[in-house]
Amino acid sequence: MQFIIHAEGHSLPLDIPDHLLTEAEGFFSKLDEDMARGRQMGQRWVEQPNQEERCKVAAARLLDAMHQGNAELGLLLAAYILARRPGTSAVRIDESDLNATEFG
């Protein structure tokens, strides 16, 4: 499955294996558990992030993983977004405002 990251004026296509969306469910559930405790979203604390907010957090972490050269974590985070937002094919990450990150 093709997933495109738009950030910092660049686009990066990722090829996410379909099987990863089901095989990594344990990782996805752990992420959900962690985020259920609340998350900092820009300047505000979100007590219980909804699905959209969780995917925005995952997108920010995805960008961090790519900066650090951690392609495996990047694929897992992209797969999380695809699993939690069926039909998504791209993300436009706004590094200055996490809340402005958009999915397409």
pLDDT tens across 30-71, in order? 999 999 999 988 888 999 999 999 999 999 999 999 999 999
Burial class (CB in 10 A: 0-12, 13-18, 19+), 70: middle
Q: From CA 10, how far away is CA 25, in angstroms rounded?
A: 29
Give the H/E segment covering residue 41. Answer: strand 39-41
Q: Token pair of 86, please? A: 């069926």
- Angle at alpha carbon of residue 72, lines to 62 and 48, rounded to 5°: 40
| pTM for the structure as a whole | 0.95
Which pLDDT score, from 0 to 100, does residue 43 have? 84
Domain boundaries, the chain: 2-103
Confidence band, pLDDT 50/70/90 cuts, at residue 96: confident
